[in-house]
Amino acid sequence: MFEHQLSRRRFIVETARAASGVALLGVGLGLYTKESKSLPVYALRPPGVKNEDDFLAACIRCGLCVRDCPYDILKLSKLAEPVALGTPYFEARKIPCEMCEDIPCVKACPTGALNKDLTNIDDARMGLAVIVDQETCLNYQGLRCDVCHRVCPLLNEAITLEPRHNQRSGKHTLFIPVVHSDKCTGCGKCERACVLEEAAIKILPLDLAKGELGRHYRLGWEEKEKAGKSLVTPDTEHKYNLPEGLKYEHEGKGLLKDSR
């Protein structure tokens, strides 16, 4: 009887010991995993990654995308690098994505972590180019650098040059590079090519680079176009209560004597 109790006691203690030890390890690893989910801004994922959370559930860190990248752009994160261990990434400033038409990295991925639905590389959204510094960008100074615009694989679509008056000289035009998020794939060619010591145009993660309107927000002119007419009742014309012999001219002349 006593021995039976002893062995049962031992069993419970041993089980509790194993469970608590492993639970402790689990808590530590879980917290570490949560922490490692944040991707540093300079690290870009290959094409076909929608968001980092889903990617870390799907990527098994096999490196097949790395092997099939014809330009050796992708690398797997090593220990002590701030990117989730063993996962593929690239740095635009070092070597940008060449946007292969057949997207071999996506084809190579066995798990679909790089989503197979991506069949046109122009639909890739690896990030979004943003002019992060207008104070150093040469085009903002009135010079015709234009390099980011010219290297863009979607020339005149993802980055356009918008003319603006040069107030400094008073007689020239600034050609302001403007990135269009509906076209930019985040390949990083512009960031790579920026002639400055530190690039003035950088690829940022989409959620960092984009603002978002409140969901209730409507732009009047868009709604008007959609509906084909104004959605608000037109203002009634203002009526002035003027002394006799005076009238108000709306075209700019203002108060006038009635010439009657």
Partner 1 sequence: MAANLPEQVGKEAILVKGWWRANKWLLLRRFSQLSILLLFLSGPLLGEGYWIAKGNLTSSLTFEILPLTDPYILLQSFFAGHEIISQAFIGAVIVTVFYFLVGGRVFCSWVCPVNIVTDTADGLRRKFKIKGGARFSSDLRYWILVMTLVLAVVTGSIAWEFINPVSILHRSIIFGFGYAGFVILAIFIFDLLLSRQGWCGHLCPVGAFYSLLGRYSFIRVSAKERDNCDDCMDCFMVCPEKQVIKPALKGADKGIGPVIMDKNCTNCGRCIDVCAKDVFKFSNRFNNDTLLNVSKKKEVAP
Residues contributing to the site for partner 1 (CB under 8 A) = 14, 18-19, 21-23, 25-26, 29-30, 32-34, 36-37, 53-54, 56-64, 66-68, 75-76, 78-81, 84-86, 108-113, 116
CB 203 within 8 A of CB 186: yes
| Total residues belonging to the chain | 260
- Answer whether 69's CB lies under 8 Å from 116's CB: no
Give 18 or 41: the residue with its C-beta nearer to partner 1.
18
Least distance in Å: CB of 47 to partner 1?
17
Q: Pick the closer one to partner 1 by CB: 59 or 97.
A: 59
Residue closer to partner 1 by CB (options 54, 258) is 54
Nearer to partner 1, 2 or 32 (CB): 32
Q: How far is the CB of 30 from partner 1 (least distance, A)?
A: 5
Closest CA to 120 of 100, 105, 92: 100
CB of 42 to partner 1, least distance (A): 18
Cβ atoms within 10 A of the Cβ of 157, count?
A: 13
Residue 229 in tokens: 């007419």
Q: At closest approach, how far in Å is the CB of 2 from partner 1?
A: 24
Cα–Cα distances in angstroms (integers) from residue 32 to residues 36, 43, 83, 185, in the given order: 6, 19, 12, 31
Q: Are 65 and 80 spatial neighbours (Cβ–Cβ below 8 Å)?
A: no
**Min dist. Cβ of residue 102 to partner 1 (A):** 15
Smaller CB separation from partner 1, 116 or 226:
116
Please check whether residue 90 is in contact with residue 98, taking contact to mean a CB–CB distance below 8 angstroms.
no
- CB distance 179 to 160 below 8 Å: no
